Structure 1
Amino acid sequence: MRRRTSLTLLNALSLSRLPLAALFVVLEDPWARVALVVAAGLTDFLDGYIARHKHLESYWGALIDPIADRGFVMVALFTFVLEGQLTPLEFGVLVMRDVATGLGFVVSRLLPRFRVVMFKARVLGKVVTTLQLGALLAVLVAPVLVRPLVIAVGLTSLASVVDYTAAVWRARSRPGAPRPRGPNIPTPSGRGA
């Protein structure tokens, strides 16, 4: 299969999380929603695994993947707030890392000394995403676990924001830092550069 076709299929796999998010809003059956969360998690794992192991990382893939991830998680969490299954405070804690890294990305694009920095997925960020998906599942099938998972997401999010900030700061100060590929915008955290 040609590289371009493979990349298109990987990006389509990432983008499939957006229709899954729309279905999450429409379908009210808890088990249907569980299936959607599992499907979103599987597509996230698969597109990253395939991209890394087949050397199919791309600028656009690294941009599309986190947008699709955040889109699904934000829609699902906001749906739970509207339905009264999560409080606004729990929602805030669960999306804290996403808001912080999004703001950090925007600020880094505005400050010239940070424009050369490539944003890549970090281990703590992946842990936060996994815990967020766990919280979504807990709301649906084990509400008693929601509060401990919200606390875990909050603590891990703080650690993740510190980790991202330190990584960006180190990359900024590295002499000869690599210039970004693709349109003159470095990638946010995602499945590749």
Structure 2
Amino acid sequence: MRWTLPNILSVLRLAAAPLFPLVYFLWDSPVADWVALVLFVGASVTDWVDGYVARRWQLTSRFGAMIDPIADKAMVLAALLVVVAKFGMPTWLTLAATVIVFREVFVSGLREFLGAQAGRLKVTKLAKWKTTVQMIAISVLIAHGILPHAAIEGLGTALLLAAAALTLITGADYFAKSWPYLRDEQAR
């Protein structure tokens, strides 16, 4: 592994994921919300920056290709757990979070199963949009602790539901692309 800027950013993002829920144990709102928002937005921005720098400066690596999606998923899933708990597990947030968690585990499992063929499950533009909407939705829901207003909660919930819908669509796309390999395994 080479310690390039993209790899360093991904490792830092991965290290930040378990810190996210810890913020709420260390501080009360609104301080915890401010710290969590800065941490999550910072992680979201570094997700874009590390990919851009890796491609622009030709610093892509196998380690980076492995650690980047793990760091993204770890941060999003940790933040989803905190948001759902913070809002008291309301039905729509819990449903959206469940869909997102299920898809992430499912697609990771498909990639693991496909092994060398996992390259067939390349990240699509729609999957990138899904990640962007997830990160914006979670940021808005965290910001609700700073500016507690029903409109902010409603916007965050609507965005998370939109992210869940995109999550279902991209999950189905990945499943469809992997189906020939799954079917071949069944024939053996």
Q: TM-score, normalised on structure 2?
A: 0.75
More displaced stretch, 34-43 vs 73-82: 73-82
Q: For residues 124 and 49 of structure 1, what CA distance do their matches in structure 2 show?
A: 17
Where does structure 2 lack aligned partners over 5 or more consecutive residues? Answer: 25-31, 144-151, 182-188
Match of 1:154 among 160, 164, 169: 164
Shift of 1:99: 2.2
Q: For residues 117 and 125 of structure 1, what CA distance do their matches in structure 2 show?
A: 16
Counterpart amino acid of residue 109 in structure 2: L
Match of 2:111 among 105, 114, 118: 105
Q: For residues 37 and 86 of structure 1, what CA distance do their matches in structure 2 show?
A: 20
Q: How does 1:35-46 map to 2 (within 5 A)?
A: 35-46=38-49
C-alpha distance 108-132 of structure 1, shift in aligned 2 (>3 A): same
Shift of 1:145: 1.3
More displaced stretch, 131-140 vs 76-85: 76-85
Counterpart amino acid of residue 120 in structure 1: K
SS in 2 for 1:27: helix
Q: How does 1:122-133 map to 2 (within 5 A)?
A: 122-133=124-135
Kindly indicate whether residue 35 of structure 2 is the aligned counterpart of residue 32 of structure 1.
Answer: yes
Match of 2:59 among 49, 56, 59: 56
C-alpha distance 49-86 of structure 1, shift in aligned 2 (>3 A): farther
Q: 1:15 touches 1:64 (CA, 8 Å); kept in 2?
A: yes
Q: CA RMSD in A?
A: 2.3
Kindly indicate whether residue 174 of structure 2 is the aligned counterpart of residue 164 of structure 1.
Answer: yes
In the alignment of these two chains, the number of paired residues is 162
Q: For residues 89 and 76 of structure 2, what CA distance do their matches in structure 1 show?
A: 13
C-alpha distance 151-82 of structure 1, shift in aligned 2 (>3 A): closer
Match of 1:143 in 2: 153
Q: 1:73 touches 1:133 (CA, 8 Å); kept in 2?
A: yes
Structure with greater helix percent = 2
C-alpha distance 85-126 of structure 1, shift in aligned 2 (>3 A): farther
Shift of 1:39: 0.3
Match of 1:182 in 2: none
Question: Highest relative contact order (Cα 8 Å, sep 6+), 1 or 2?
Answer: 1
Where does structure 1 lack aligned partners over 5 or more consecutive residues? Answer: 110-114, 173-193
Shift of 1:124: 1.4
C-alpha distance 4-120 of structure 1, shift in aligned 2 (>3 A): same
Percent identity reads 34
Q: For residues 3 and 63 of structure 2, what CA distance do their matches in structure 1 show?
A: 13
Q: For residues 161 and 85 of structure 2, what CA distance do their matches in structure 1 show?
A: 21
Q: For residues 174 and 54 of structure 2, what CA distance do their matches in structure 1 show?
A: 22
